[in-house]
Structure 1
């Protein structure tokens, strides 16, 4: 069964501008799905359309079989979609604890319980709970950003280039955290610049070119495809 079904979505930032031009994708209940493609292909815009941050001009978005196309970002969050953007994904002037607490807006009564559960899952956050978010390393900030996304108890998590700017070691640790979340029952749709590594941990992958579907397949198979590697993976 698919938790997410996106059909022929068209979207852009201006009245006439179209960046996503009829892309379709699905995410199964137990999957990690990665979107790859050249710069300017519309990958991040596609995620924002799913999250409700960019309105779809055409097409349909269903979450767990329910049509959420007409809902705004908060409505999508209430439906169960959590979006972790690439940039400005934590509040640097707030502590780790404060970042988590303000992310519990959908269930204020359950915020303290969720924060404690996240401290158990990510001991680094517990150790740094009083530290300002801007003092964290890049990898630590990304873990905090994902933890903030988990505060809404999502049915699906969207990650926009989660390893951008990280060292190879921090990127590997971040991928391990993504796999752990998925094994815990959370489906994930992500855009990732480290395409080979991302596809290796993905159930399936999509190649997006000029806002349209170009290819789809099992993650490791896409990573090993000579033509895909030549065109998009630098090999």
Structure 2
């Protein structure tokens, strides 16, 4: 049984807008799945539909065999889906520790334990636990945002362009952190602008074009596909 299936999803932001046009994806237990595609293809919209932030007008979303299509974003979080947005994903005026604490609002009893786990997993955050989040570097902010997403103990983590705006070195370090996290058994579904690098660490990948998947395959295979490299690297 697939961990997640999103089948024939139609969605958009306006009454007549159709950004997603019967898009379908799946995530198996333990996978990293990356969605790539040109700007405006609907990649982030599809992630937001899975997270419950954008309603699906048509189609079905099934998580661990249960239809969650009608659940709210809060309901999806309780069901095990955690979404880390591309922007505004930390509270800059709060400390690192306060960002983690507020992210466990649904389970205050387990929050302290998970915060300790995050500090063990990411020592950089432990060393800056009292610092305001806005003082962190770009890469450190993304690690904090990912740690905040983990505070709900999700069964599926959604990452929307996690390396956006990062230096090549910071992006590489973040990809290493994503790989290490996945090696603990946590499935990850992400949208990423660094297509080839993301596919190289992914179990599988999807190419989304004009609101519908146009290709699917093993991540490393797509990463070396000449057509994918031509489309996303210009040669």
Fold conserved (TM > 0.5)?
yes
Describe the SS at the equivalent of 1:213: strand
Aligned to 1:33: 33
Deviation at 1:188, TM superposition (A): 0.3
Describe the SS at the equivalent of 1:56: coil
TM-score, normalisation: structure 1:
0.99
Q: Superposed, which structure 2 residues align to 1:1-235 within 5 Å?
A: 1-235=1-235
Deviation at 1:136, TM superposition (A): 0.1
Deviation at 1:226, TM superposition (A): 1.1
In 2, the alpha carbon distance for the partners of 1:95 and 1:130 equals 5
TM-score, normalisation: structure 2:
0.99
In 1, the alpha carbon distance for the partners of 2:82 and 2:173 equals 21
In 2, the alpha carbon distance for the partners of 1:35 and 1:232 equals 13
In 2, the alpha carbon distance for the partners of 1:111 and 1:43 equals 31
Deviation at 1:232, TM superposition (A): 3.0
Describe the SS at the equivalent of 2:57: strand
In 2, the alpha carbon distance for the partners of 1:180 and 1:103 equals 21
In 2, the alpha carbon distance for the partners of 1:219 and 1:233 equals 16
Deviation at 1:216, TM superposition (A): 0.4
Describe the SS at the equivalent of 2:206: strand
Deviation at 1:105, TM superposition (A): 1.5
1:35-65 per-residue CA deviation (whole Å, 9 max, x = no partner) reads 0000000000000000000000000001111
Deviation at 1:234, TM superposition (A): 2.3
Mean Cα deviation higher: 54-63 or 223-232: 223-232
Aligned length: 235
Describe the SS at the equivalent of 2:169: helix
Q: CA RMSD in A?
A: 0.7
Describe the SS at the equivalent of 1:153: coil
Gaps of 5+ in 1: none
Deviation at 1:225, TM superposition (A): 1.1
Describe the SS at the equivalent of 1:44: helix
In 1, the alpha carbon distance for the partners of 2:215 and 2:189 equals 16
In 2, the alpha carbon distance for the partners of 1:134 and 1:20 equals 34
In 1, the alpha carbon distance for the partners of 2:83 and 2:93 equals 21
